C-alpha cells in the first residue's frame, strides 16, 4: 500500500498542477480508507489517521442520517459560515459571508472543535509530512471543509502547499463564494474530487431539500447499512448487498436530474453572448441551488474516466453524465456505495481533458472517445459536447484577456502614468502639491494635460474593472496577481486625489454631497486589502500618501472653513483618517505641505478651534510641528 | 464581409432552464385553476405572486368586428396605456381590439387594481415579485396586464408574463416599443408545435371569428371534436391559406421570448421576425389534407400539461435523435434547435432565419462594445473643448460661442478640429442606429443618453456658431441648419425624461453649468436678426421677439442658462442692450420680468460677485 509521491508512472498521473501527487495508487488507497471508516455499527462523525510513508491520511466518516442531509430551514439546507475564524475571510464582493451546507458544516464543526484533529494535523505539517484529508459521501464534505481550514492555518508564503483533499462521491456543499475563494487563492490543485458518472448522491444538494426528503428517508438508511456492511463484500464486484432497493428510485433520480439541469442550463446560458433576456428575469423569481463545485474532478465510469481542471466544465459533466437514457435506475443508487469496487480498475484508465475549446466534435483521439462514451459524453451527445466546448472557450477567453491587458498596459498606460508622476514632481518643484495645483481656478496647460491623462486612465481602468473583471471575463486569481495589484495601487494612490480635486473644483459636492467614490477605486483598494492579509506585504515607503481618499475629508473641512463653520464631527473624521497614516508613515508630506496647501490651511484652522486637551491627543500635532527637511549639501 | 457569428447558441439551454426550474409547470397549474374564474385569481407560491386569467371567459367580447384583422389603437379614451407605447415612427401601437376589451373589462369591472396594489405600492418595504399567467385568451390578458404594469413603472423589480397557446396581440409598433424599453425578457410565450391559436390571427379575423365561436365549446370540454370537425377544417384552411399568401398587410408581430415545443424537445427564440417565420414554418410543413393533423392543431391547444411533461421527460432521459454534422459549434447549435422545435434541419429558410437572427444580435452587441471604447477616447476631446470654453472666458473674457464664431485665434481652429472629430463620432452612432445596427434598447440606455446630452449641450453652440459664420445671415439654423444628430439626441433625452418619475426631477437649486437648451444660441441669432428687421420697420417681428424674451425669462427662472451667456459683450447681451434700448425708446417706463432679472445680474456684476 505504500507509495511515494512522484514515483508514479506517467500513465497513472492524473492531474496537471500537482500531477505527481494524485496517483492512481494514492486515490485507491484513499478510497479504501474512506470506505472502511464506515464499517461497523457507529455512524457519528469521526476520523481515522493512517501513516503511509511520508504521507498522513485522515479519513472522515460523516453521518448519512436523513435529518442531517435534508432537514433545514432554508430551501437547499444552506447556512452562512459562522463561528470559525479560519473560514470567515470567505466573503463576496458585498462582504456577505459564504454559504455551506448546514448538515455538513455542523458535523465538521463538531469534529474540528471536539477532537484532536487540529493538533494532530498541525503537528504532521510541522514535521514536514504531506497531509491528505479524505472521505466518502458526507465524509468527503467534512474532509473538504477541514482542508480549507488547514490550508488557511498552515499556509505561509513561499512554503509549498502540502495539504491535499481527496473525496469520493462528495455532494457539492459550498456556494459560489467558496468556489471563487478557492480559485482566487489558487487552491484548486489541493482538491481532487472523484465522482462516478451515475452517482446520483453526489448531485442531490442541487435539488431543494423538500423535493428529495421523502425518498431519502428510505434510501439513506439503505445506503448506510450498505456502507457499514461493505467489509463483508470487499472484493466482490457488483451489488454490495443482497437487500432490495426501496421503491420510487426512478422518480427520485428524475427529480435530481431536473434540478441539476436548472442549475447547469442557467449557468451555461447566462455566460453566453448574445443570451436570452428572460433568463435573468426568471432567475430572480426562482431560487436555484447555491452550491458550486471547486477543485479538480475525476469522473469515472466502470472502465475508466476523465480528469478535468476547467471549473466551467464540471457542472455540465455532473449533469450530462447523469441523464438516464438506457440505464437501469438502480445504478444511480448503487454507484454511490460502489466506489471501492469500481475505482481500482477504473483509475488505471484515466485520460486528462486538456484543452476543452479544441474538444473535437468528431472524435479523432480514440483514447478520449473510449473514456467519454461510457460517461454518456460521447459524440452522439452533441449537447454535452457543445457545452464542454463552451466551457473551454470561456477559460480560453479569460486567459487571452489577461495577456491582452498585459500588452495594452505597456502600450497605453505606462506613458500617462509617467506623465502624471512627472506632473507631480514638477508641481512640487514649482512650490505646490499636485492636488493643490490641479484644483486651482486658473489652470495652466500642464494642469489641463494632467486632466486629460486622468481621463484616459479612468477610461482604461473602468474597462478592466467594470467591463472585464465584474463580468467574469478575467480569471478569479487576476486580482491576486502582484503585478496588477501594484499597478492598481500605484494608479489609485496617484490619481484618485486628482479625481477628488476635480470633484470639488467643479463644485459637484453642492449638488451631490460628499465625494462619491468611483467603483474602480473601491475595487482596486479591495484587491490590495484582500491580498495584504495573507501576504503581509511590506508597506511600501511613503512615496505616495497611502490613503487615496484622504483628500475628500480635507475638502469637506475646507468647505466649512470657507464659511467659517467649524464642525467637531468633520474634524474627527479627518483626524481618524490622518492618525493611521501618521503612525505608519503613510502620509506624503511633500504633497500635502508644499506651498499654499489646502491641507496645511485646513489643519491650521482646525487646530485653532481645538481645546488644548484635544490638541494633546490629535494626530495634527505632528503636522503642525512638521518642518520640511532642509536640503542637504 | 462575412457576418460575425456568435460562438454558440443559447436557445436550447434557455428552454431547458425555463422548463427545469419548475416555473412553467407551476404557471400552467395556476392557469388551469383559474379557468373557472370569471375575472382573475391571485395566489402566492414560494414568495412569488401568481395572477392568472381564465382561458375562455367572455369569448363574445374577444370576437370583435373592427377592421379586417380586428386591430386598433392601444390608447383608449380613458388612457389606460400611455403614449410611450408607440413605434419608432411615433405611430401609436395597435393591438387586437378584442384582447384589449377583455383586459379593460377586468381592469374596470373587478378589484384587479386594488388587489394588485400591495404588490406594486412602492411604499411596501419588500415587494414580492409578480407573475401574470394565462392560457389562450387568458394569455392575451396576461400580456396586456404585464405591459400595463411595466408601462406604469409601478415597481422597481419588473413583472414576468407566461402564456400558453396565446394569440398574437400587437403590431410592429408595439414590438418596437418593447424593444426600446428592453422589456422583451419579461415575456415568455409557450407554443406547442401544432397549436393553431398562436397563428390564427395571421388570417383575417373576419375569416375565422365565426368558426372560433363554434370551436370554443370543444376547448371548454363541452362538446366532442367530431361535432366541430368542419369548423376546424375551415379555420385551419383559412389560416394556412393566408400563411401561404402572406400579403404583408397583417399587422400582428410577436414580441418576447417564444418557447416552441415539439415531441423532440423545446427551444427559445426572441427575435420577432424569426419567431414569425417559425410560426409559419412549423405550421406549413403539415399536409393540410390529413385529418389527424387538423385535429392535433386544435387538441394541442388544451394539452399544454402533457406537452410540458413530455419535454421535461425528454431532457431527463437525454435521448437524442439526430446527430447534426458540422464543424461549427454555432451551426450545430442551430441544427439542434430546429430539431427540437420540430421544424427539421432540412428547412433551409428556417435555418437561415435563425442563423441570421443570432448573427445580427451578436453584431449589435459587438458594435455597442466598440462604440463604448471609442466613447472613452472621445471624453478627452470633450475635456479639450471644456477647457477651450474655460480659456475663452478666463483669458479672453469672451463667451466661447462668440470666440468660435469669430475664429480669430489658433485655439478656435483647434476647437474646430475637436468639433469635427466629435461630429464624426456621433454621426456614426446615429447612422448605425438608423440602420438598426445597434441593440433595440440603445436609445434608452442611460449611458448613451447622458453622453449624448452632454455632447449636445457643449458642442451644439459651436455648430450654431459655425452655421451663422458661414451662411452670413441668410439661413435659419433651426429650420434648415440643425444637424440630424442633435435632433435625434434631443428626442432620446426627452423620451427618457417622460419615463422618469416626477419626484426624482426636483427643481434646480444651482445654475446649470451648460445651458440646458442646446439650441439657445440659435434663438439668440434669430432674435438679433428679428430686431434688425424690426428696426427697419417689419413690425410683424415684434411678436417673435416678445416670445424670445419670454423664453429666456422662463429658462432663467429655472436656472437653466449657464453664466457665460451673461458675460459682458456676448451676443446675447448685445441683443439685450439693443432690445432694451428699443423698448425704452417706445416707452421710457418699460419694464419686464427679464428686465428686472438683468438689472439684478448687472448689479451683482458691479459688486464683483
pLDDT tens-digit readout, B242-297:
888 766 789 999 999 999 999 889 999 999 999 999 998 887 665 555 778 888 88
Give the A window 234-263 contacts with B, CB below 8 Å.
Answer: 254, 257-259, 261-262
> For residue A8, what pLDDT is reported?
36
pTM: 0.90
Q: Environment class of residue B2 by beta-carbon count within 10 Å: exposed (0-12), middle (13-18) or buried (19+)? A: exposed
Q: Is the pLDDT of residue A534 over 60?
A: no
Tell me the CATH architecture of domain A27-231+245-353+368-380: 3-Layer(aba) Sandwich (3.40)
The percent of residues above 70 in pLDDT, for chain A, comes to 90
Q: Are residues B531 and B482 in the same domain?
A: no
* Last residue within a domain, chosen from B318, B348, B370: B318
Q: How confident is the model at residue A440 (pLDDT cuts 50, 70, 90)?
A: confident
Where exactly are the structural domains of chain A?
27-231+245-353+368-380, 399-519, 541-632
Give the A window 15-54 contacts with B, CB below 8 Å.
Answer: none
On chain A, the residues whose CB falls within 8 A of the CB of B358 are: 274
Task: Tell me how crowded residue A128 is: count the other CB atoms within 10 A of its CB.
Answer: 8
Report how far residue B525's alpha carbon sits from residue B473's, in angstroms, rounded to the nearest whole number. 9
Report how far residue B14's alpha carbon sits from residue B20's, in angstroms, rounded to the nearest whole number. 10
On chain B, the residues whose CB falls within 8 A of the CB of A390 are: 7-8, 329
Give the A window 172-191 contacts with B, CB below 8 Å.
Answer: none
Q: Are residues B412 and B457 in the same domain?
A: yes
> For residue B147, what pLDDT is reported?
94
* Residue B11 or residue A593, greater confidence: B11
How distant is the Cα of B23 from the closest Cα of chain A, in angstroms?
A: 8
The percent of residues above 70 in pLDDT, for chain B, comes to 94
In the predicted model, what is the mean pLDDT of residues B67-84? 87
On chain A, the residues whose CB falls within 8 A of the CB of B369 are: 467
Q: Are residues B165 and B212 in the same domain?
A: yes
How distant is the Cα of B64 from the closest Cα of chain A, in angstroms?
A: 32
Report how far residue A145's alpha carbon sits from residue A126's, in angstroms, rounded to the nearest whole number. 20
Q: Which residue of A has its CA nearest to B311?
A: A258
> For residue B247, what pLDDT is reported?
67
> For residue B243, what pLDDT is reported?
81
Q: Environment class of residue B12 by beta-carbon count within 10 Å: exposed (0-12), middle (13-18) or buried (19+)? A: buried
SS3 A196: strand
Nearest to B549 by CA among B574, B523, B570, B529: B523
In the predicted model, what is the mean pLDDT of residues B51-61? 91
In the predicted model, what is the mean pLDDT of residues A253-280? 92
Q: How confident is the model at residue A3 (pLDDT cuts 50, 70, 90)?
A: very low
How distant is the Cα of B501 from the closest Cα of chain A, in angstroms?
A: 19
Q: Is the pLDDT of residue A555 over 50?
A: yes
Chain segment A225-241, per-residue pLDDT in tens: 888 886 554 444 455 45
On chain A, the residues whose CB falls within 8 A of the CB of B8 are: 272, 386, 389-390, 393
- Return mean pLDDT, chain B: 89
In the predicted model, what is the mean pLDDT of residues A156-160? 66
What Å distances lie between residue A600 and A168, A301, A432, A515, A571, CA to CA? 65, 73, 11, 20, 14
Q: Is residue B198 part of a domain?
A: yes
Report how far residue B463's alpha carbon sits from residue B480's, in angstroms, rounded to the nearest whole number. 13
> For residue B324, what pLDDT is reported?
64
Q: Is residue B361 part of a domain?
A: no
Q: Are residues B276 and B137 in the same domain?
A: yes
CB neighbour list of residue B167: distance below 8 Å, 6 or more residues apart: B96, B99, B136, B137, B139, B140, B197, B198, B200, B201
Task: Tell me how crowded residue A270 is: count the other CB atoms within 10 A of its CB.
Answer: 18
Contact B14 A278 (CB under 8 A): yes
Helix (H) or strand (E) holding A415: helix A414-429
Chain segment B177-202, per-residue pLDDT in tens: 999 999 999 999 999 999 999 999 99
* Residue A15 or residue A268, greater confidence: A268
How distant is the Cα of B26 from the closest Cα of chain A, in angstroms?
A: 11
On chain B, the residues whose CB falls within 8 A of the CB of A506 are: 513
On chain B, the residues whose CB falls within 8 A of the CB of A268 are: 13
CB neighbour list of residue B253: distance below 8 Å, 6 or more residues apart: B168, B170, B171, B172, B174, B175, B272, B273, B276
Contact B188 A261 (CB under 8 A): no
A285 vs B131, B256, B358: nearest CB: B131
Contact B13 A280 (CB under 8 A): no
Q: How confident is the model at residue A172 (pLDDT cuts 50, 70, 90)?
A: very high
> For residue B255, what pLDDT is reported?
96
Return the bridge partners of A165, or none. Answer: A133, A191
- CB of B460 within 8 A of CB of B518? yes
Q: Is residue B489 part of a domain?
A: yes
A282 contacts chain B (CB < 8 A): yes
CB neighbour list of residue B65: distance below 8 Å, 6 or more residues apart: B206, B209
Q: Is residue B131 part of a domain?
A: yes
Report how far residue A4's alpha carbon sits from residue A54's, in angstroms, rounded to the nearest whole number. 8
Q: How confident is the model at residue A298 (pLDDT cuts 50, 70, 90)?
A: very high
> For residue A360, what pLDDT is reported?
67
> For residue A11, what pLDDT is reported?
38
| ipTM of predicted assembly, 2 dp | 0.89
What Å distances lie between residue A106 and A96, A101, A360, A548, CA to CA? 20, 9, 44, 42
Q: Are residues B479 and B509 in the same domain?
A: no
Query: What is the number of residues in chain B?
Result: 609
A65 contacts chain B (CB < 8 A): no
Helix (H) or strand (E) holding A163: strand A163-168
- CB of A131 within 8 A of CB of A164? yes
Contact B358 A274 (CB under 8 A): yes
What region does A245 belong to: left with phi over 0, alpha with psi -120 to 50, or beta? Answer: beta
Contact A380 B323 (CB under 8 A): yes
Q: Are residues B442 and B311 in the same domain?
A: no
Q: How confident is the model at residue B93 (pLDDT cuts 50, 70, 90)?
A: very high
Contact B16 A265 (CB under 8 A): yes
Chain segment A569-620, per-residue pLDDT in tens: 999 999 999 999 888 888 888 888 888 889 999 999 999 999 999 999 999 9
Q: Are residues B87 and B160 in the same domain?
A: yes
How distant is the Cα of A471 from the closest Cα of chain B, in angstroms?
A: 13
Q: Is residue B383 part of a domain?
A: no
On chain A, the residues whose CB falls within 8 A of the CB of B386 are: none
> What domain count does chain B have?
3
- Return mean pLDDT, chain A: 86
How distant is the Cα of A331 from the closest Cα of chain B, in angstroms?
A: 14
Q: Are residues B528 and B489 in the same domain?
A: no
Q: Are residues B550 and B536 in the same domain?
A: yes
* Last residue within a domain, chosen from B503, B538, B557: B503
Cell numbers given for B290: 390529413
What Å distances lie between residue A319 and A254, A361, B143, B323, CA to CA? 12, 19, 34, 20
Contact A287 B46 (CB under 8 A): yes
Contact A323 B13 (CB under 8 A): no
Contact B46 A393 (CB under 8 A): no
> For residue B21, what pLDDT is reported?
93
Q: Is residue B3 part of a domain?
A: no
What secondary structure, in 3-state letters, does A72-106 show?
CCCCCCEEECCCCHHHCCCECCCCCECEEEHHHHH
Chain segment B112-169, per-residue pLDDT in tens: 988 888 787 766 667 788 999 999 999 999 999 999 999 887 666 689 999 999 999 9
Nearest to A494 by CA among A539, A457, A460: A457
> For residue A17, what pLDDT is reported?
45
Domain with B290, as residue range(s), is 9-318
Q: Are residues B453 and B517 in the same domain?
A: no
On chain B, the residues whose CB falls within 8 A of the CB of A454 are: none
* Residue B444 or residue A16, greater confidence: B444
Contact A274 B332 (CB under 8 A): no
Alpha helical stretches, state H, A155-248: 176-184, 209-228
> For residue A632, what pLDDT is reported?
47
> For residue A550, what pLDDT is reported?
92
Q: Which CATH number belongs to the domain containing residue B300 in this structure? A: 3.40.50.1820
- CB of A261 within 8 A of CB of B16? yes
| CA dihedral of A239, A240, A242, A245, whole degrees rounded to 10 | -70
- CB of B361 within 8 A of CB of A277? no
Contact B380 A287 (CB under 8 A): no
SS3 content of chain A, % helix, strand, coil (to 5): 55, 10, 35
In the predicted model, what is the mean pLDDT of residues B581-591? 91
Helix (H) or strand (E) holding B432: helix B410-434
On chain A, the residues whose CB falls within 8 A of the CB of B46 are: 286-287
Q: Are residues B85 and B230 in the same domain?
A: yes
CB neighbour list of residue B346: distance below 8 Å, 6 or more residues apart: none
A286 vs B21, B157, B373: nearest CB: B21
Chain segment A96-144, per-residue pLDDT in tens: 899 999 999 999 999 999 999 999 999 999 898 999 999 999 999 999 9
Nearest to B56 by CA among B29, B74, B34, B41: B34
* Last residue within a domain, chosen from B482, B503, B524: B503
Report how far residue B70's alpha carbon sits from residue B116's, in angstroms, rounded to the nearest whole number. 29
Q: How confident is the model at residue B605 (pLDDT cuts 50, 70, 90)?
A: confident
Give the A window 444-483 contacts with B, CB below 8 Å.
Answer: 448, 451-452, 455-456, 459-460, 462-463, 467
Contact A277 B6 (CB under 8 A): no
How distant is the Cα of A202 from the closest Cα of chain B, in angstroms?
A: 17
How distant is the Cα of B20 from the closest Cα of chain A, in angstroms?
A: 5
CB neighbour list of residue A81: distance below 8 Å, 6 or more residues apart: A87, A88, A90, A97, A98, A99, A100, A105
Helical packing angle, B291-299 and B225-245, nearest 10°: 100
How many interface pairs between A and B have CB atoms less than 8 angstroms apart?
A: 167
Q: How confident is the model at residue A2 (pLDDT cuts 50, 70, 90)?
A: very low
Q: Are residues B421 and B282 in the same domain?
A: no
Amino acid at each position: 500500500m505504500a507509495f511515494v509521491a512522484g514515483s508514479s508512472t506517467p500513465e497513472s498521473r492524473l492531474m496537471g498542477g500537482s500531477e505527481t501527487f494524485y496517483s492512481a495508487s494514492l486515490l485507491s488507497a484513499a478510497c479504501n480508507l474512506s470506505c472502511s471508516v464506515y464499517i461497523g455499527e457507529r455512524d457519528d462523525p469521526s476520523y481515522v489517521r493512517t501513516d503511509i510513508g511520508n504521507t498522513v491520511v485522515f479519513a472522515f466518516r460523516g453521518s448519512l442520517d436523513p435529518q442531517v442531509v435534508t432537514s433545514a430551514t432554508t430551501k437547499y439546507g444552506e447556512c452562512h459560515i459562522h463561528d470559525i475564524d479560519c473560514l470567515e475571510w470567505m466573503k463576496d464582493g458585498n462582504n456577505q459571508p459564504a454559504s455551506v451546507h448546514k448538515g455538513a458544516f455542523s458535523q465538521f464543526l463538531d469534529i474540528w472543535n471536539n477532537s484532536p484533529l487540529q493538533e494532530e494535523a498541525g503537528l504532521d505539517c510541522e514535521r514536514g509530512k504531506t497531509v491528505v484529508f479524505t472521505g466518502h459521501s458526507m465524509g468527503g464534505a467534512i474532509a473538504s471543509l477541514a482542508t480549507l481550514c488547514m490550508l488557511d492555518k498552515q499556509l505561509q508564503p513561499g512554503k509549498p502547499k502540502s495539504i491535499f483533499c481527496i473525496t469520493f462521491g462528495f455532494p457539492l456543499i459550498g456556494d459560489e463564494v467558496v468556489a471563487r475563494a478557492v480559485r482566487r487563492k489558487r487552491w484548486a490543485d489541493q482538491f481532487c474530487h472523484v465522482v462516478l458518472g451515475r452517482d446520483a448522491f453526489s448531485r442531490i444538494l442541487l435539488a431543494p431539500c423538500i423535493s428529495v426528503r421523502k425518498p431519502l428517508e428510505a434510501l439513506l438508511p439503505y445506503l448506510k447499512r450498505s456502507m457499514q456492511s461493505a467489509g463483508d463484500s470487499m472484493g466482490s464486484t457488483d451489488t454490495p448487498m443482497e437487500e432490495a432497493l426501496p421503491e420510487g428510485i426512478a422518480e427520485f433520480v428524475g427529480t435530481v436530474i431536473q434540478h441539476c439541469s436548472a442549475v447547469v442550463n442557467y449557468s451555461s446560458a447566462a455566460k453566453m453572448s448574445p443570451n436570452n433576456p428572460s433568463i435573468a428575469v426568471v432567475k430572480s423569481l426562482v431560487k436555484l441551488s447555491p452550491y458550486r463545485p471547486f477543485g479538480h474532478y475525476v469522473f469515472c465510469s466502470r472502465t475508466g474516466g476523465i480528469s478535468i481542471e476547467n471549473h466551467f466544465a464540471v457542472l455540465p459533466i455532473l449533469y450530462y453524465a447523469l441523464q438516464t437514457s438506457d440505464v437501469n435506475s438502480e445504478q444511480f443508487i448503487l454507484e454511490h456505495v460502489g466506489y471501492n469496487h469500481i475505482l481500482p480498475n477504473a483509475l488505471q484508465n484515466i485520460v486528462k481533458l486538456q484543452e476543452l475549446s479544441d474538444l473535437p466534435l468528431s472524435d479523432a483521439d480514440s483514447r478520449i472517445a473510449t473514456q467519454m462514451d461510457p460517461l454518456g459524453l460521447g459524440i452522439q451527445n452533441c449537447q454535452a459536447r457543445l457545452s464542454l466546448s463552451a466551457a473551454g472557450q470561456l477559460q480560453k477567453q479569460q486567459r487571452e484577456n489577461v495577456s491582452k491587458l498585459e500588452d495594452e498596459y505597456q502600450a497605453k498606460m505606462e506613458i500617462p502614468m509617467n506623465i502624471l508622476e512627472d506632473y507631480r514632481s514638477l508641481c512640487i518643484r514649482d512650490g505646490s502639491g499636485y492636488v493643490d495645483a490641479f484644483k486651482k481656478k486658473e489652470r495652466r496647460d500642464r494642469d489641463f494635460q494632467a486632466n486629460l491623462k486622468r481621463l484616459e486612465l479612468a477610461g482604461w481602468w473602468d474597462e478592466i474593472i467594470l467591463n472585464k473583471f465584474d463580468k467574469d471575463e478575467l480569471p478569479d486569481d487576476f486580482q491576486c496577481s502582484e503585478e496588477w495589484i501594484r499597478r492598481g495601487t500605484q494608479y489609485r494612490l496617484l490619481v484618485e486625489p486628482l479625481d477628488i480635486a476635480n470633484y470639488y473644483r467643479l463644485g459637484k459636492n453642492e449638488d451631490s454631497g460628499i465625494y462619491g467614490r468611483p467603483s474602480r477605486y473601491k475595487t482596486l483598494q479591495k484587491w490590495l486589502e484582500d491580498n495584504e492579509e495573507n501576504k503581509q506585504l511590506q508597506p511600501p515607503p511613503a512615496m505616495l500618501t497611502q490613503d487615496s481618499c484622504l483628500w475628500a475629508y480635507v475638502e469637506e473641512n475646507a468647505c466649512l472653513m470657507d464659511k467659517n463653520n467649524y464642525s467637531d464631527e468633520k474634524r474627527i473624521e479627518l483626524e481618524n483618517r490622518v492618525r493611521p497614516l501618521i503612525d505608519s508613515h503613510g502620509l506624503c508630506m511633500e504633497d500635502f505641505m508644499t506651498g499654499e496647501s489646502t491641507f496645511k490651511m485646513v489643519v491650521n484652522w482646525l487646530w485653532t478651534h481645538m481645546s488644548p486637551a484635544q490638541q494633546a491627543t490629535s494626530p495634527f500635532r505632528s503636522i503642525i510641528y512638521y518642518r520640511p527637511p532642509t536640503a542637504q549639501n | 464581409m462575412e457576418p460575425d457569428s456568435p460562438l454558440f447558441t443559447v436557445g436550447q439551454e434557455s428552454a431547458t432552464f425555463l422548463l427545469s426550474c419548475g416555473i412553467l409547470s407551476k404557471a400552467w397549474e395556476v392557469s388551469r385553476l383559474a379557468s373557472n374564474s370569471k375575472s382573475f385569481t391571485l395566489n402566492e407560491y414560494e414568495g412569488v405572486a401568481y395572477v392568472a386569467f381564465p382561458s375562455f371567459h367572455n369569448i363574445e367580447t374577444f370576437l370583435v368586428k373592427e377592421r379586417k384583422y380586428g386591430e386598433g389603437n392601444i390608447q383608449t379614451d380613458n388612457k389606460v396605456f400611455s403614449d410611450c407605447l408607440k413605434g419608432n415612427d411615433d405611430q401609436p401601437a395597435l393591438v387586437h381590439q378584442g384582447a384589449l376589451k377583455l383586459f379593460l373589462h377586468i381592469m374596470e369591472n373587478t378589484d384587479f387594481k386594488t388587489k394588485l396594489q400591495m404588490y406594486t405600492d412602492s411604499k411596501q418595504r419588500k415587494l414580492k415579485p409578480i407573475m401574470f399567467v394565462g392560457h389562450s385568451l387568458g394569455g392575451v390578458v396576461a400580456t396586456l396586464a404585464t405591459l400595463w404594469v411595466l408601462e406604469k413603472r409601478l415597481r422597481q423589480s419588473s413583472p414576468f408574463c407566461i402564456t400558453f397557446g396565446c394569440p398574437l396581440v400587437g403590431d410592429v409598433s408595439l414590438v418596437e416599443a418593447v424593444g426600446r424599453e428592453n422589456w422583451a425578457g419579461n415575456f415568455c410565450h409557450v407554443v406547442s408545435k401544432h397549436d393553431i391559436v398562436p397563428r390564427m390571427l395571421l388570417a383575417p379575423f373576419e375569416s375565422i371569428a365565426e368558426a372560433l365561436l363554434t370551436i370554443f365549446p370543444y376547448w371548454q370540454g363541452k362538446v366532442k371534436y367530431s361535432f366541430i370537425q368542419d369548423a376546424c377544417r375551415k379555420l385551419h384552411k383559412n389560416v394556412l391559406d393566408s400563411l401561404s399568401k402572406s400579403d404583408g398587410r397583417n399587422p400582428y408581430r410577436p414580441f418576447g421570448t417564444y418557447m416552441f415545443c415539439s415531441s423532440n424537445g423545446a427551444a427559445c427564440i426572441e427575435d420577432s421576425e424569426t419567431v414569425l417565420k417559425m410560426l409559419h414554418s412549423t405550421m406549413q410543413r403539415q399536409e393540410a389534407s390529413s385529418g389527424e393533423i387538423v385535429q392535433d392543431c386544435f387538441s394541442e391547444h388544451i394539452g399544454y400539461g402533457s406537452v410540458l411533461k413530455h419535454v421535461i421527460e425528454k431532457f431527463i432521459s437525454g435521448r437524442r435523435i439526430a446527430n447534426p454534422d458540422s464543424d461549427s459549434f454555432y451551426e450545430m447549435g442551430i441544427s439542434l434547435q430546429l430539431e427540437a422545435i420540430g421544424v427539421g434541419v432540412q428547412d433551409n429558410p428556417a435555418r437561415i432565419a435563425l442563423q441570421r437572427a443570432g448573427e445580427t444580435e451578436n453584431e449589435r452587441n459587438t458594435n455597442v462594445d466598440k462604440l463604448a471604447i471609442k466613447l472613452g477616447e472621445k471624453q478627452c476631446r470633450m475635456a479639450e473643448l471644456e477647457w477651450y470654453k474655460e480659456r475663452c472666458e478666463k483669458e479672453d473674457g469672451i463667451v466661447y460661442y462668440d470666440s468660435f464664431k469669430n475664429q480669430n485665434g489658433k485655439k478656435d481652429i483647434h476647437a474646430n478640429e475637436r468639433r469635427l472629430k466629435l461630429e464624426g463620432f456621433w454621426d456614426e452612432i446615429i447612422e448605425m442606429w438608423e440602420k438598426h445596427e445597434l441593440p433595440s434598447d440603445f436609445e434608452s440606455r442611460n449611458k448613451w443618453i447622458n453622453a449624448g446630452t452632454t455632447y449636445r449641450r457643449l458642442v451644439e453652440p459651436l455648430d450654431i456658431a459655425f452655421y451663422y459664420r458661414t451662411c452670413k445671415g441668410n439661413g435659419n439654423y433651426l429650420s434648415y441648419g440643425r444637424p440630424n444628430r442633435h435632433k435625434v439626441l434631443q428626442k432620446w433625452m426627452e423620451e427618457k425624461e417622460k419615463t422618469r418619475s416626477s419626484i426624482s426631477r426636483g427643481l434646480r437649486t444651482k445654475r446649470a453649468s451648460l445651458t440646458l437648451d442646446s439650441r439657445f444660441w440659435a434663438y439668440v441669432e434669430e432674435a438679433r436678426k428679428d430686431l434688425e428687421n424690426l428696426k427697419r420697420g417689419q413690425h410683424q417681428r415684434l411678436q417673435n421677439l416678445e416670445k424670445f424674451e419670454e423664453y429666456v425669462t422662463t429658462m432663467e427662472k429655472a436656472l437653466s442658462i449657464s453664466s457665460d451667456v451673461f458675460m459682458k459683450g456676448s451676443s446675447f447681451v448685445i441683443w439685450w442692450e439693443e432690445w432694451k434700448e428699443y423698448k425704452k425708446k417706445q416707452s421710457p417706463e418699460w419694464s419686464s420680468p427679464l428686465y428686472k432679472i438683468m438689472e439684478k445680474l448687472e448689479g451683482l456684476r458691479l459688486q464683483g460677485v
